[in-house]
Amino acid sequence: MFKLIRTRIHQGYKTCNYPGKEVTLHPAFKGLPRLNLNCDQNIVEKCAASCPQDAIDPGTRLIDLGRCVFCGLCERISKGEFIRFTNNFELAATQRDHLITDGNLPDIAANAKKRFKDLFGRSLQLRQVSAGGCNACEADTNVLNTPFYDLSRFGIQFVASPRHADGLHVTGPVTRNMARALLMTYEAVPSPKLVIAAGSCAISGGPFRGSPEIIPLETLLPVDLYIPGCPPHPMTTLNALIRYLKKDRSE
């Protein structure tokens, strides 16, 4: 016991004080991109042609964050003249079309459903469902339960049973083998309930988009919150949940 107490004193307080204090991620992190809409069309078309996810529309000069895997190839090809990835981890949206952007996203706090804020603003229980993913999204989601992030201090927890949950946190592309299990899990969650699509695969199918073995999540369930990334950074998920459920950063 004394050894544990001594270790705790030596380590000090490890939990980040976000959102009370802003967090700056490592410079290598690729967050919200900024697009130069006045860039030379040839550069735009080269970026669009090279994108492995077809996330760039050369006509509108916008990027689909729901498809993007943040590989940074477009930034390297354009040498930052067309696309530049910032360190901003605030990437979530409440509507799918909001993710098709030039780098400006609507405030999810202002677009969140008020009834969810009223119901789950102080307590939210989520059932995580991996619908055929590679486990990267799940791994970064699990990090939120570590002392550094301490998700439970916000009243948000992941639970084992959908009957104890307020909603689903879906990761991975929905494979045909997982579709029925996902629907059964959703039906077991008491109403009212919310659905969160986390990661490129859950939002758009990711690298598996267009495969006959993939069923788009939106055709099965109503999605309330989209969290882009491949995988989404823990801070992106934390920010999305807090902003979606709280009225402002001080709550």
**Residue 140: inside a domain, yes or no?**
yes
d(CA 222, CA 134): 23
Residue 109: its pLDDT value, please? 84
Domain count of the chain? Answer: 1
Please list, residue by residue across 210-248, b when 16 or more beta carbons sit within 10 angstroms of its beta carbon and e when fewer do.
Answer: eeeebbebbebbebbbbbbbbbbbbbbbbbbbbbbbbee
Whether residue 155 contacts residue 122, with contact meaning beta carbons closer than 8 Å, is answered with yes
**Token pair for residue 118?**
């009223």
pLDDT in tens, 24-39: 899 999 999 999 999 9
* Phi/psi at 159 (5° precision): -115, 160
**Residue 153: inside a domain, yes or no?**
yes
Q: Which domain holds residue 225?
A: 108-245
Tell me the mean pLDDT per 10 residues along the chain, length 251: 72 82 91 96 97 96 97 96 96 97 92 82 92 94 93 93 96 96 97 96 95 95 97 96 71 44
**Residue 197: inside a domain, yes or no?**
yes
Residue 8: its pLDDT value, please? 66
**Residue 214: inside a domain, yes or no?**
yes
Residue 9: its pLDDT value, please? 74
**Residue 224: inside a domain, yes or no?**
yes
**Residue 129: inside a domain, yes or no?**
yes
Residue 118: its pLDDT value, please? 83
According to DSSP, the residues that pair with 126 across neighbouring strands are 158, 167
Residue 4: its pLDDT value, please? 67
Contacts of 133 (CB under 8 A, 6+ apart): 171, 172, 173, 199, 201, 202
**Residue 131: inside a domain, yes or no?**
yes
d(CA 169, CA 155): 16
C-alpha Rg value of the chain to the nearest Å: 19
Output the domain CATH number for residue 193.
Answer: 3.40.50.12280
Residue 250: its pLDDT value, please? 43
Whether residue 101 contacts residue 62, with contact meaning beta carbons closer than 8 Å, is answered with yes
d(CA 112, CA 124): 15
Q: How many C-beta atoms lie closer than 10 Å to residue 163's C-beta?
A: 11
Determine the 3-state secondary structure of 18 from DSSP. Answer: coil
According to DSSP, the residues that pair with 57 across neighbouring strands are 62
**Residue 233: inside a domain, yes or no?**
yes
How many helices (DSSP H) and strands (DSSP E) are in the chain? 9, 10
DSSP state of 232: P
Q: CA nearest 72: which of 31, 36, 43, 24?
A: 31
Residue 198: its pLDDT value, please? 98
